[in-house]
Amino acid sequence: MSRDSRDAALETSRRKLLALATGGAAAGMLGMTVKGAETDPTKVQGRGPSAVGQRSGAEQIGRTTAFGVVSLTPLESLHGTITPADLHFERHHAGIPEIDPERHELYIHGMVERPLKWSVAELKRYPSVTRTCFIECSGNYFPTAGELSPPHLVCGLTSQSEWTGVPLATLLREAGVRSGASWVLAEGSDAAVMSRSVPLEKALDDALVVYAQNGEAIRPAQGYPMRLLLPGWEGNTNVKWLRRLEVTDGPSMARDETSKYTEPMRDGYIRQFSFEIEARSIITHPACPAVIEPGWHEIRGIAWSGSGRIAKVEMSTDGGKRWQEARLQGPVLPKAHTRFGLPWKWDGQATELLSRATDETGYVQPTLKTILKERGPGSGPYHFNPIVGWRVLRDGELRFNPTG
């Protein structure tokens, strides 16, 4: 779009807004369905309270579904760090099972003193823990993302919730882990019977069996009535619809940790059990498809690391020549999406915006070149966390640059 036609478009939308503000019939023109927007809201009785709230009709928001097996969180439409539960990304290997919470049970068996089982109601009687953390699919990378991709098509397989449940350590302690045990197999009750082996060390550290998400029962898509939550670890290990935990003396070599979720490396070896999500960041605003005007903007985005807290996010507004530290929005939680921001005055010249995250272990988000150098042929796009950029065109449009 040329600057002239963009100015004209902006002027038209300004006039529409003005018409709206002055009580004109502009709501329809703007595509809004806000009831009563045509009338002065101070002159009519408003809508009454309801059992379940809903979004403003003016807010069009939703997930993009892709390949029939995932739906992507609209990162560019969100603020703060919590993903509304109905916008949490979804990845199901065999769909969402229908589970009766009255009949669902969780078993712990194997190398334990006392095999035990819990109903959902029994689990809820235990002292609970609430924590905020992200879940990211380790396949959160789309090599085909073209330059017109918005952030959700770049890395929309990451979302954050406040989860509530019971420490797995509590349940394992009650069952009594036998000496010699070192791993736990977690199994879901979906048609994929998703199974992953988890080192006992993680199971006893910060693993949770969660039944609530953002204050209410966990959504069916997220594992209702309960899922395993392994803060900071690749999405796949966070087994949904959890029904069985088997304590073992080694990994069980399930399908999803042998034929999948492994990475061929340059040295000819295959990396297995690459659990931790590496530090990553994405600028969510301004980003395609936004069109910006010269002047002040707050560049915004999220950064996260499965290894701990985000220590800093550096940003470049000149394609990587100079870097400066962005402001982090506190509290900066470990293994959590962290908001960053940087005021920026755009001078109207073509440039490129970049962000680079560093976590508290000192790990720095790499370039795509560095990642590709380490990986061998045939490597799936697992654990790809490259620095990416948004090219700012002279007319204010933004274009995705996958190689930063």
Binder among 83, 164, 222, 338 for ligand MTE (CB under 6 A): 222
215 DSSP 8-state letter? T
CA 168 to chain CA centroid, Å, is 23
What's the CA dihedral at 25, 26, 29, 33 to 10 degrees? -80
Among the residue ranges 18-26, 83-91, 338-346, 389-397, the one whose residues contact ligand MTE (CB under 6 A): 83-91
State yes or no: residue 276 binds ligand MTE (CB under 6 A).
no
Please state whether 159 falls in left (phi above 0), alpha (psi between -120 and 50) or beta: beta
Task: For residue 357, state whether it binds ligand MTE (rule: CB under 6 A).
Answer: no
**x/- string (CB under 5 A) for Mo ion, residues 234-253?**
-xx-----------------
242, 187 contact by CB (below 8 A): yes
By CB under 6 A, tell whether 192 contacts ligand MTE.
Answer: yes
Choice from 20, 75, 123, 239 touching ligand MTE (CB under 6 A): 239
- The nearer residue to Mo ion, 235 or 366, going by C-beta atoms, is 235
DSSP string, 240-285: SSEEEEEEESS----GGGTTSS-EEBTTS-EE----BPPPEEEEEE
Among 6, 16, 24, 91, binds Mo ion (CB under 5 A): 91
The answer to the question of residue 109 lying near ligand MTE (CB under 6 A) is no
Q: Which is nearer to ligand MTE, 137 or 315 (CB)?
A: 137
Q: Taking contact as CB under 6 A, which single stretch among the options 84-92, 266-274, 338-346, 381-389 is the one that binds ligand MTE?
A: 84-92
Give SS3 for 188.
Answer: strand
Q: How many residues form the binding site for Mo ion (CB under 5 A)? A: 4
The total number of residues written for the chain in this structure: 404
Beta-bridge partner residues of 185? 197, 246
Based on the shown chain and the rule CB under 6 A, indicate whether residue 135 belongs to the binding site for ligand MTE: yes
Which of left, alpha, beta for 320 (phi over 0: left; psi -120 to 50: alpha)? left
Question: Least CB distance from residue 155 to ligand MTE, whole Å?
Answer: 12
- Closest approach, Cβ 98 to Mo ion, in A, equals 22
SS3 12: helix
**Rounded to an integer, what distance in angstroms lies between the CA atom of residue 103 and that of residue 281?**
41
226 contributes a contact to ligand MTE by CB under 6 A: no
CB proximity list for 104: less than 8 A, separation 6 or greater: 119, 120, 189, 225, 226, 243
- Residue 260 found at the interface with Mo ion (CB under 5 A): no
Helix residue ranges, H only, 70-138: 120-123
* # of chain residues touching ligand MTE (CB under 6 A): 20
**Interface positions with ligand MTE (CB under 6 A):** 88-93, 135, 137, 188, 190, 192, 194, 221-222, 235-236, 238-241
**Interface positions with Mo ion (CB under 5 A):** 91, 137, 235-236
